Amino acid sequence: MVLYWKKRLEDAISIRKKSHPDDKIKIEWRAFQLNPDLAPEGEDRILHMTRKFGSMDRVKMMVQRVADIANSEDLPFLLEQEGHQPNTFLLHALIRKAKEYGKDSILSEIFFRKFFAEGKNLSDTNIILESLREAGIQEDDFYSIKENTILLQEVREEEQKGRELGVSGVPFFVFNEKYAVSGAQESNLFLQVFDRLESEIS
């Protein structure tokens, strides 16, 4: 586990299941690129972050805030921002393919860990293949997915749907295609959403 916002959602689900063991709650990952115009090969991370947020001082302040929250949740987070910023389109496509095997959450978590906790370059084919092996997914999927025009189009359409919903940042949660929650919220807010959905059903 690397992402504190994911941990907070999972904590909320765990609490909810204790009092409502028959509830069926499923997490489904959806594609959304924060930087869709990034070159396919990505770019230097410091250059990218400085251009996006204005100055390295501001970047350091933002990263420190995230690191402090992650540390408070006992989660690993790499404070150093040197490295590579990948174009994530192919990663999203691989996660969508992994869903066919029921391994989308596993692969997502591996990608996040390698990037945020280990500082790995997710534009590097070897790192991507390493991630697939770790998730128990065949390496052939990496090579075949680039020719899978149907799946690639599905990813593009999913990203476009996110933009049409007004998504401009992550994390962004959609519950039952009805309620949206933006940002890294506390577990209590997710519990309130579950209660609201239950009241509407009953």
- Answer whether the bond into residue 40 is a cis peptide, omega within 30°: no
When pLDDT is averaged across residues 163-184 and rounded to a whole number, the result is 90
Does 128 reside within a domain?
yes
Does 179 reside within a domain?
no
* φ/ψ (deg, to 5) at 65: -65, -45
Does 65 reside within a domain?
yes
Contacts of residue 39, Cβ cutoff 8 Å, sequence gap at least 6: 87
- The pLDDT mean for the chain works out to 93
Q: Provide the whole-model pTM.
A: 0.91
Does 192 reside within a domain?
no
Does 182 reside within a domain?
no
Least trusted range by pLDDT, from 48-57, 93-102, 132-141, 144-153: 48-57
Does 40 reside within a domain?
yes
When pLDDT is averaged across residues 12-28 and rounded to a whole number, the result is 94
Domain count, the chain: 1
User: Which residue range forms the structural domain that includes residue 107?
Assistant: 4-165
Complete DSSP assignment for 177-199: TTEEEESS--HHHHHHHHHHHHH
Model confidence pLDDT, tens digit, residues 129-150:
999 999 999 999 999 999 999 9
- pLDDT on residue 143: 94
- pLDDT on residue 72: 87
Which residue is it, tokens 């945020």?
116
Under the banding of pLDDT at 50, 70 and 90, the label for residue 2 is low
Which residue is it, tokens 């990663």?
91
Does 39 reside within a domain?
yes
Look up the CATH number of the domain holding residue 115.
Answer: 3.40.30.10
Does 72 reside within a domain?
yes
When pLDDT is averaged across residues 45-67 and rounded to a whole number, the result is 91
When pLDDT is averaged across residues 52-65 and rounded to a whole number, the result is 90
